[in-house]
């Protein structure tokens, strides 16, 4: 197993290199980072020329990639525009642990920009994932055990309504009902945006209240897929001989379902969850935007819209590493769940 | 058994939603609260120190906290590194300009004792030297005095190539900035510089940043950029949590009357619909960039919506380059376009009558020839002008043509919803007179890209391009992208005259106005500019584009200006 993990990690190195090259090339066509600089109008020509030079955007793409990868502290650039490179570069490059500084939050290290958002994203996404898994297991198991019952059909229909609705619609609808309308009707209402009420402060109960609508919005659209997976795998397992054997041995129904059936039925679910957990770090772009949740999804969107290559590259490389790591963890989980699987 | 468990879970979830909704937050309607507002705010609660980091504020009901919503998060707070409008309007909150502008866009001295003029000797007769006399009681939020050295330092930092600043304009127009003494700043110019009032909208604290610059050789990574804990406005920076909010608390060392509201809490909410919902529920007291379509909803919810002219006007720029459609070289065709597009109906229907057609790029300033009125909607006259210009539908395909060239014009703008709606309306109305419109829309960072980055407008790929623009720094009327020298070329790809218009009359008038420090003379020059551009349809105004602000009923004594919206923030109050 140890050798297997090391082999997988070594294989990841060239993979990450290729991913970084592809992403960097794609990023060059993303837009012009100094087109407006976030303002309401185009950047003035003198400033455009100066910023292009000072930010190193006048260098060929391969040079910019090289700087990103190995830094530019071995090179000089022309800061004052006199045609003579005189100012030494400051960047160390990704290989020396320096992802550069954000072009939007000028001077702020990329890792600092990303790190600030990770806890918020994990809080929101982990809560949503827990809600999704708990409800998906309950719904999936119930549907499998009561196949084609009225309840099964109703749950299936509701799940698919959620699945087929765009998240922005669910999110805005939930704000409209639970915030705007509930307040108008004189009912206790939920906050519409943000993480807390500034009059009260950032207390755990405030954060919890502000999480309800975004978590439920994410859960509602994701429940259907998970619950259908569980339903179908449970149906398959429940017809296996060892389930009949377990029942014949006189084991209690709930014990058979949870220990014998659900554990074996969860293998495909682990694959899906394993991949999804990696993407939790990426945040929920639309949900975070609508509920003004300060997570990674919004960070990505904000910085893509300003063509902030260092930050966007940092986010995407972090996601790439996370996906690779979680794939390895998923493979290990297989071996634990299914003793027939062995890695050489 | 399982079924029962599921039902219990569902019931528990619903109860949890209601329980959590009920606890922790107020259930009162916006506008009502238990806060006592009868006592003076300054004696209610001691203001927080600038460096207070925790957000916990147990004495919630005793504080007046105004929540603003910004749909864009700050990029940085150091004024020299940003061109973001949402940042620049905060300068009046926590920084201090030499002068501000009131709700009539008249200059109001803040750091200076009076506005320099030729009459009071502040401006020399040749217009090349301006002297600023500073108040002797002005100080930074940490108690250090604000002196002429802070002005010199700010100028030096903007002009030093070691700092990758956002723009050197208008400071690059000055030859030098010197401190004659602690209270006297002397500005010298090689040529008279009429837009001098665009200078000094902010100041950098030398005593805080000079040591950083000396140590690091640049201010690019200074901590103050993202946490300017020393400022000079009625409020002082307290905290900025990435993606979430920024707080500004009362400045105890403010040199004018202390502000009445304790804290300004700016929440970053990128989604327009969410902003509207937050304003409706009272989760926000102020918002801006409100979609026109949401204005009736907000008014129904008791939110005040006001429009404040800030010099912006939405309009069409025409491409005059040789490789464009030859029709646009003909003034009669451009007039026909103006006559065929019902911009009054556009204002009434799409913009709900909240604005009106723009007659010039300088609408809502004193620089527009008062005799100018927007072209009326007259499709018959448009057809007559097109016929006269020789553009007729010779091949009966529904579109006019001339010498084998079809009158189909490419039109591009950004993806903003109102602009895309406008494109659709224009396409339909121009088709009625035989003009085809091939419409495109782009993300802003692509649309505004320069020629070397393939920006469609800069590269000459569009016959008509639309956006909202105003003077370089409102309320000054200066404009820079009409000069022949600004036409982009291979040698000068960053040129800003994307229209490729080289008109000697216009060129001369624009050059003249920048040197006219006398208001009346400059105004006359602009009358000529606006009349000339109108008569020749060099730019076609669609609608005046004021800033739309939504204000909750709790905010009182609000006065805003287009140039500096929060110039009177210290006088605002809240009724909880």
Residue B265 domain-assigned (yes or no)? no
Considering only CA atoms, which of A275, A242, A272, A256 is closest in space to residue A144?
A256
Of B21, B60, B167, the CB nearest to A209: B21
The more confidently predicted of residues B61 and B253 is: B253
Considering only CA atoms, which of B51, B8, B391, B54 is closest in space to residue B252?
B51
* Chain centroid, CA A194 distance in Å: 19
Instruction: For chain B, give the percent of residues with pLDDT over 70.
Output: 89
Residues B428 and B475 in one domain: yes
Computed on alpha carbons and rounded to an integer, the radius of gyration of chain B in Å comes to 27
Structure tokens of A22? Answer: 């592809």
Strand pairing class (B408-414; B436-442):
parallel
Number of neighbours of residue B45 by Cβ within 10 angstroms: 15
pLDDT of residue B83: 86
Tens digit of each residue's pLDDT (9 = 90 or more) over A229-281: 888 888 888 888 888 888 788 777 777 777 777 777 777 777 777 777 766 77
pLDDT of residue A344: 58
Tens digit of each residue's pLDDT (9 = 90 or more) over B406-453: 999 999 999 888 899 999 999 999 999 999 999 999 988 788 888 877
State the residue range of the domain holding B154: 65-258+548-574
Q: How many whole angstroms separate alpha carbon A58 and alpha carbon A54? A: 9
Structure tokens of B508? Answer: 């001369």
Whether B17 and A203 have beta carbons less than 8 Å apart is answered as: no
Q: How many whole angstroms separate alpha carbon A179 and alpha carbon B396? A: 57
* Chain A residues 25-54 with CB within 8 Å of chain B: 30-52, 54
Whether A220 and A249 have beta carbons less than 8 Å apart is answered as: no
Q: Residue A294 and residue B494: Cβ atoms within 8 Å?
A: no
Residue B304 domain-assigned (yes or no)? no
Considering only CA atoms, which of A119, A122, A113, A121 is closest in space to residue A312?
A113
Distance to chain B for A335, nearest Cα, Å: 29
Per DSSP, the three-state class of B470 is: coil
Q: How many whole angstroms separate alpha carbon B436 and alpha carbon B427? A: 7
* Chain A residues 218-257 with CB within 8 Å of chain B: 253-254, 257
Element (H, E) at A303: helix A296-305
**Cα–Cα separations (whole angstroms), residue B275 to A159, B27, B218, B364:** 29, 19, 38, 28
**Max Cα-Cα span within chain A:** 89
What is the secondary structure of A222-250 as a DSSP string?
A: HHHHHHHHHHHHHHHHHTSHHHHHHHHTT
Residue B91's CATH number: 3.40.190.10
Instruction: Output the 3-class SS for B353-364.
Output: CCCCCCCCCCCC
B167 part of contact set with chain A, CB < 8 Å: yes
Q: Residue B468 and residue A146: Cβ atoms within 8 Å?
A: no
- The chain-wide mean pLDDT, for chain B, equals 87
Q: How many whole angstroms separate alpha carbon B431 and alpha carbon A136? A: 54
Tens digit of each residue's pLDDT (9 = 90 or more) over A27-83: 887 777 887 776 767 788 888 888 888 888 888 889 989 999 998 888 887 777 787
Of A188, A199, A254, the CB nearest to B22: A188
Ranges of beta strands (E only) in chain A are 76-77, 87-88
Structure tokens of B349? Answer: 């229907």
Considering only CA atoms, which of B150, B327, B157 is closest in space to residue B230?
B150
Contacts of A158 in chain B (CB under 8 A): none
Find all residues with CB under 8 Å of B248, minimum gap 6, and list them: B90, B93, B94, B233, B235, B236, B237, B238, B263, B264, B266
Whether B346 and B422 have beta carbons less than 8 Å apart is answered as: yes
Residue B39 domain-assigned (yes or no)? no
The one-character DSSP state at B134 is B
- How many cross-chain Cβ pairs, A to B, lie less than 8 Å apart? 275
Structure tokens of B211? Answer: 């040591």
Find all residues with CB under 8 Å of B241, minimum gap 6, and list them: A116, A294, B55
Q: How many whole angstroms separate alpha carbon B37 and alpha carbon A137? A: 53
Tens digit of each residue's pLDDT (9 = 90 or more) over B65-120: 999 999 989 999 999 999 888 999 999 999 989 999 998 888 999 999 999 998 89
Residue B116 domain-assigned (yes or no)? yes
Predicted model pTM = 0.82
Contacts of A31 in chain B (CB under 8 A): 443, 445-446, 449, 453
ipTM: 0.82
Q: How many whole angstroms separate alpha carbon B55 and alpha carbon B306? A: 32
Residue B273 domain-assigned (yes or no)? no
Whether A291 and A213 have beta carbons less than 8 Å apart is answered as: yes
pLDDT of residue B61: 54
Residues B369 and B508 in one domain: yes
Beta bridge partner(s), residue B145: B139
Residues B536 and B553 in one domain: no
Of B83, B164, B455, the CB nearest to A55: B164
Q: How many whole angstroms separate alpha carbon A136 and alpha carbon B38? A: 54
- Could you give the number of structural domains in chain B? 3
Residue B458 exposure: Cα atoms within 13 Å on the Cβ side = 29
pLDDT of residue A283: 65
Structure tokens of B81? Answer: 């590194």
Q: Residue B25 and residue A202: Cβ atoms within 8 Å?
A: no
Whether B66 and B286 have beta carbons less than 8 Å apart is answered as: yes
Q: Residue B83 and residue A294: Cβ atoms within 8 Å?
A: no
Q: With a cut of 60, say whether residue A8 has pLDDT above it.
A: yes
* Chain centroid, CA B25 distance in Å: 35
B291 part of contact set with chain A, CB < 8 Å: no
Q: How many whole angstroms separate alpha carbon B401 and alpha carbon B389? A: 11
CA dihedral B146, B151, B157, B160 (to 10 degrees): -150
Residue B218 domain-assigned (yes or no)? yes
Q: Residue B221 and residue A107: Cβ atoms within 8 Å?
A: yes
Nearest CA in chain A to B262: A199
Residue B466's CATH number: 3.10.105.10
Contacts of B495 in chain A (CB under 8 A): 45
Computed on alpha carbons and rounded to an integer, the radius of gyration of chain A in Å comes to 25
Considering only CA atoms, which of B48, B56, B267 is closest in space to residue A202?
B56
> Which position has the token pair 């209402």?
A189
Average pLDDT over residues A194-223: 87
Q: With a cut of 70, say whether residue B47 has pLDDT above it.
A: no
**Which of B244, B314, B493 is the best mutation test for A, with the most CBs of A within 10 A?**
B244
Of A39, A50, A180, the CB nearest to B280: A180
Considering only CA atoms, which of B208, B140, B165, B172 is closest in space to residue B75?
B165
B126 part of contact set with chain A, CB < 8 Å: no
Q: Residue A45 and residue B81: Cβ atoms within 8 Å?
A: no
Residues B138 and B156 in one domain: yes
Structure tokens of A331? Answer: 């493979």
Residues B140 and B78 in one domain: yes
Q: With a cut of 60, say whether residue B2 has pLDDT above it.
A: no
The one-character DSSP state at B404 is T
pLDDT of residue A343: 63
B14 part of contact set with chain A, CB < 8 Å: no
Residue B38 domain-assigned (yes or no)? no
Q: How many whole angstroms separate alpha carbon B502 and alpha carbon B482? A: 8
Tens digit of each residue's pLDDT (9 = 90 or more) over B325-376: 999 999 999 999 999 999 999 999 888 888 999 999 999 899 999 999 999 9
Contacts of B20 in chain A (CB under 8 A): 190, 205, 208-209, 212
- The chain-wide mean pLDDT, for chain A, equals 84
Q: Residue B164 and residue A106: Cβ atoms within 8 Å?
A: yes
Q: With a cut of 60, say whether residue B5 has pLDDT above it.
A: no
Average pLDDT over residues A203-215: 91
Tens digit of each residue's pLDDT (9 = 90 or more) over A132-165: 888 888 888 888 888 888 888 888 888 888 888 8
Q: How many whole angstroms separate alpha carbon A117 and alpha carbon A294? A: 6
Q: Residue A216 and residue B17: Cβ atoms within 8 Å?
A: yes
Q: Residue B453 and residue A50: Cβ atoms within 8 Å?
A: no
Distance to chain A for B11, nearest Cα, Å: 13
Residues B184 and B317 in one domain: no
Whether A199 and B56 have beta carbons less than 8 Å apart is answered as: no
Average pLDDT over residues B504-528: 92
Residues B412 and B538 in one domain: yes
Contacts of B220 in chain A (CB under 8 A): 101, 106-107
Of A30, A38, A179, the CB nearest to B277: A179
Contacts of A206 in chain B (CB under 8 A): 24-25
Contacts of A223 in chain B (CB under 8 A): none
Considering only CA atoms, which of B247, B113, B86, B248 is closest in space to residue B184?
B113
Torsions phi, psi of A25, nearest 5? Answer: -65, -45
Distance to chain B for A306, nearest Cα, Å: 7
Strand pairing class (B286-288; B65-70):
parallel
Residues B359 and B508 in one domain: yes
Considering only CA atoms, which of A231, A287, A273 is closest in space to residue A132?
A273
Residues B555 and B524 in one domain: no
Whether B90 and B566 have beta carbons less than 8 Å apart is answered as: yes
Number of neighbours of residue A109 by Cβ within 10 angstroms: 18
Q: Residue B67 and residue A198: Cβ atoms within 8 Å?
A: yes
Residues B402 and B504 in one domain: yes
Q: With a cut of 80, say whether residue A204 has pLDDT above it.
A: yes
Average pLDDT over residues B544-548: 92
Residue B319 domain-assigned (yes or no)? yes
Distance to chain A for B121, nearest Cα, Å: 33
> Which position has the token pair 């201010």?
B219
CA dihedral B40, B42, B48, B50 (to 10 degrees): 140
A193 part of contact set with chain B, CB < 8 Å: yes
Q: How many whole angstroms separate alpha carbon A162 and alpha carbon A175? A: 16
Angle of helix A2-27 relative to helix A61-70, nearest 10 degrees? 140
Q: With a cut of 80, say whether residue A341 has pLDDT above it.
A: no
What is the secondary structure of B73-128 as a DSSP string?
A: --S-S-GGG---HHHHTTHHHHS--SEEE-TT--EEESSBSS---TTTTSB-TTS-
**Which of B12, B56, B69, B83 is the best mutation test for A, with the most CBs of A within 10 A?**
B83
Q: Residue A40 and residue B85: Cβ atoms within 8 Å?
A: yes
Residues B72 and B54 in one domain: no
Residues B145 and B20 in one domain: no
Q: Residue A35 and residue B267: Cβ atoms within 8 Å?
A: no
């Amino acid at each position: 197993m140890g050798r297997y993990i090391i082999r997988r990690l070594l294989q990841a190195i060239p993979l990450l290199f290729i991913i970084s090259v592809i992403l960097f090339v794609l990023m060059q066509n993303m837009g012009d980072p100094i087109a407006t600089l976030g303002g309401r109008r185009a950047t003035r020509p003198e400033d455009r020329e100066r910023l292009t030079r000072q930010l190193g955007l006048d260098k060929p793409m391969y040079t910019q990639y090289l700087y990103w990868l190995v830094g530019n502290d071995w090179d000089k650039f022309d800061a004052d525009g006199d045609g003579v490179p005189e100012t030494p570069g400051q960047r160390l490059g990704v290989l020396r642990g320096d992802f550069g500084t954000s072009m939007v939050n000028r001077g702020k290290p990329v890792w600092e920009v990303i790190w600030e958002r990770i806890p918020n994203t994990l809080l929101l996404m982990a809560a949503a994932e827990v809600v999704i898994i708990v409800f998906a297991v309950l719904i999936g198991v119930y549907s499998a055990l009561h196949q084609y019952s009225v309840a099964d059909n109703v749950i299936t229909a509701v799940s698919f309504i959620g699945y087929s609705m765009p998240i922005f619609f669910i999110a805005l609808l939930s704000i409209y009902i639970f915030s705007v309308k509930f307040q108008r009707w004189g009912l206790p209402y939920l906050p519409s945006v943000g993480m807390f009420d500034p009059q009260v402060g950032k207390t755990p109960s405030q954060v919890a209240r502000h999480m309800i609508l975004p978590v439920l919005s994410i859960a509602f659209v994701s429940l259907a897929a998970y619950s259908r997976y569980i339903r179908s795998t449970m149906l398959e397992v429940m017809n296996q001989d060892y389930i009949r054997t377990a029942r014949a041995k006189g084991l209690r129904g709930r014990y058979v379902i949870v220990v014998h059936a659900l554990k074996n039925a969860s293998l495909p679910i682990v694959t899906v969850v394993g991949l999804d957990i990696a993407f939790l770090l990426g945040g929920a772009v639309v949900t975070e935007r609508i509920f003004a949740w300060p997570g990674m999804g919004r960070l990505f969107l904000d910085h893509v819209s300003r063509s902030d290559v260092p930050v966007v590259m940092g986010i995407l490389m972090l996601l790439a590493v996370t996906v690779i790591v979680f794939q390895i963890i998923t493979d290990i989980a297989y071996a634990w769940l299914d003793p027939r699987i062995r890695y050489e | 058994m399982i079924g029962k468990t599921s039902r219990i879970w569902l019931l528990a979830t619903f109860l949890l939603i209601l329980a959590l909704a009920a606890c922790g937050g107020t259930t009162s309607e916006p506008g009502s609260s238990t806060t006592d507002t009868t006592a003076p705010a300054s004696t209610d609660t001691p203001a927080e120190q600038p460096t207070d980091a925790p957000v916990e504020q147990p004495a919630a009901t005793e504080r007046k906290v105004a929540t603003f919503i910004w749909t864009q998060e700050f990029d940085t707070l150091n004024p020299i590194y940003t061109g973001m409008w949402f940042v620049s309007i905060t300068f009046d909150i926590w920084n201090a300009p030499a002068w501000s502008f009131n709700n009539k866009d008249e200059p109001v001295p803040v750091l200076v004792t009076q506005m320099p003029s030729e009459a009071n000797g502040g401006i020399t007769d040749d217009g090349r030297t301006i002297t600023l006399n500073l108040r002797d009681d002005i100080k930074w939020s940490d108690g250090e005095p604000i002196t002429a050295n802070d002005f010199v330092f700010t100028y030096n930092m903007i002009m030093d190539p070691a700092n990758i600043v956002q723009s050197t304009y208008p400071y690059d127009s000055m030859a030098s900035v010197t401190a004659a003494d602690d209270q006297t700043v002397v500005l010298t110019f090689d040529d008279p510089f009429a837009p001098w009032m665009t200078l000094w909208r902010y100041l950098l604290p030398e005593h805080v940043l000079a040591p950083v610059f000396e140590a690091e050789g640049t201010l690019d990574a200074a901590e103050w950029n993202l946490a300017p804990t020393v400022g000079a406005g009625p409020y002082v920076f307290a905290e900025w949590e990435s993606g979430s909010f920024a707080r500004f608390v009362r400045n105890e060392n403010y040199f004018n009357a202390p502000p009445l509201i304790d804290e300004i809490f700016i929440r970053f909410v990128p989604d327009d619909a969410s902003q509207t919902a937050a304003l409706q529920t009272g989760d926000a007291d102020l918002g801006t960039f409100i979609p026109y379509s949401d204005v009736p909803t907000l008014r129904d919810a008791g939110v005040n919506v006001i429009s404040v002219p800030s010099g912006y006007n939405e309009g069409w720029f025409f491409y005059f380059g040789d490789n464009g459609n030859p029709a646009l070289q003909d003034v009669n065709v451009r007039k026909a376009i103006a006559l065929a597009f019902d911009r009054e109906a556009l204002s009434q229907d799409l913009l709900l009558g909240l604005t009106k057609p723009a007659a010039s790029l300088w609408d809502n300033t004193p620089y527009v020839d008062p005799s100018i009125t927007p072209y009326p909607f007259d499709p018959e006259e448009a057809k007559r002008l097109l016929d006269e210009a020789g553009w007729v539908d010779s091949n009966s395909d529904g579109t006019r043509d001339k010498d084998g060239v079809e009158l189909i014009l490419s039109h591009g703008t950004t993806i903003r919803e109102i602009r895309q709606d406008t494109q659709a309306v224009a396409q339909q109305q121009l088709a009625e007179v035989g003009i085809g419109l091939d419409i495109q829309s782009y993300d802003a960072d692509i649309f505004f890209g320069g020629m070397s980055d393939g920006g469609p407008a800069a590269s000459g790929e569009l016959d008509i391009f639309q956006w909202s623009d105003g003077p370089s720094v409102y309320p000054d009327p200066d404009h820079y992208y009409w000069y022949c020298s600004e036409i982009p070329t291979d040698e000068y790809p960053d040129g800003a005259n994307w229209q490729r218009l080289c008109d000697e009359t216009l060129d001369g008038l624009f050059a003249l106005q920048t040197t006219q420090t006398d208001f009346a003379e400059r105004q006359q020059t602009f009358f000529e500019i606006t009349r000339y551009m109108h008569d020749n349809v060099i730019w076609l105004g669609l609608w005046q584009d004021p800033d739309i602000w939504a204000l909750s009923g709790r905010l009182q004594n609000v006065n805003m200006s287009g140039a500096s919206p929060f110039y009177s923030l210290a006088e605002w109050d809240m009724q909880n």
